[in-house]
Amino acid sequence: MDESPREVAHRVASDAELIAWVDTDDNLLGSLVRSDLRERGLIGRGSYIMLFNSAGELCVHRRTLSKAIYPGFWDVAAGGMVQANETYAESAARELAEELGVSGVELTAHDHFYFEDSGSRLWCSAFSAVWDGPLVLQPEEVLEARFLPVAQVLDEIQRKPYCPDSLAALERYLRAHRGDVAKKR
C-alpha cells in the first residue's frame, strides 16, 4: 500500500513541529524540531489516551504507513508528542480530537513513566476517556479504528504488530486496575 500525497505532506509538516525536549528527569530543556529530536536520540514527551466505550471496550486503530515511528502498526491509544507550548493534558486533548475526532470528554490521568526503545525515548503521561459517539478518523494518521473487548486486544497483540510505547501505557493501566476494565466503567 502506497503512502498518499496527503500523508506525505502531513509527515513533512509533523517532522517540522516544535516538540518539548526534556532531560532524564522530565525537566523541560527547551524545544526541538521533531525530526531533530528523533534523529539525535534525545528525550521528548508523549501523551497516550486509551479510549473506552461504556461497555469497557478499548478503541484500537491502525497507523498510516507514512508515520515515522511504527508505520502500519496497530495502536491501543490515541496520542503523540507533546508540543513545545503544551502540557501533557493539553496534548492529550488535542491528539484525541485530531486522530479520532473525540472532544469534550473528561480525560482521567493515570500514569507518568519513562519509555525507551530503538526508535524513541519518551516521558509519557497516560490518560483514559469514555466515548460512545462516532469516531472521525484523521486520514493522514489513522487507517481504521474499532472498539474491542480488552481480552481480544490482549490476544491480538500476540499476533499483530502493536506500538510498544502505547502497549506499555496499557499494561501499566491494566496492572493498576487489576485488568478489570469493564467493572471500572
Question: Which is more confident, 13 or 72?
Answer: 72
Q: What is the mean pLDDT of the chain?
A: 91
Whether residue 182 is predicted with pLDDT greater than 80 in this model: the reply is no
Cell representation of residue 95:
491528539
Interatomic CA distance for residues 110 and 160, integer angstroms:
26
| Percentage of residues of the chain with pLDDT beyond 70 | 89
58-78 mean pLDDT: 94
Whether residue 50 is predicted with pLDDT greater than 50 in this model: the reply is yes
Cell representation of residue 13:
509538516
Strand partners, 78: 49
pTM: 0.89
Q: How many other β-carbons are positioned within 10 Å of the β-carbon of residue 178?
A: 9
Q: Residue 184 has what pLDDT?
A: 40
Q: Residue 156 has what pLDDT?
A: 96
**b/e sequence 107-124, b meaning 16+ C-beta within 10 Å:** eeebbeeebeeeebbbbb
159-182 mean pLDDT: 86
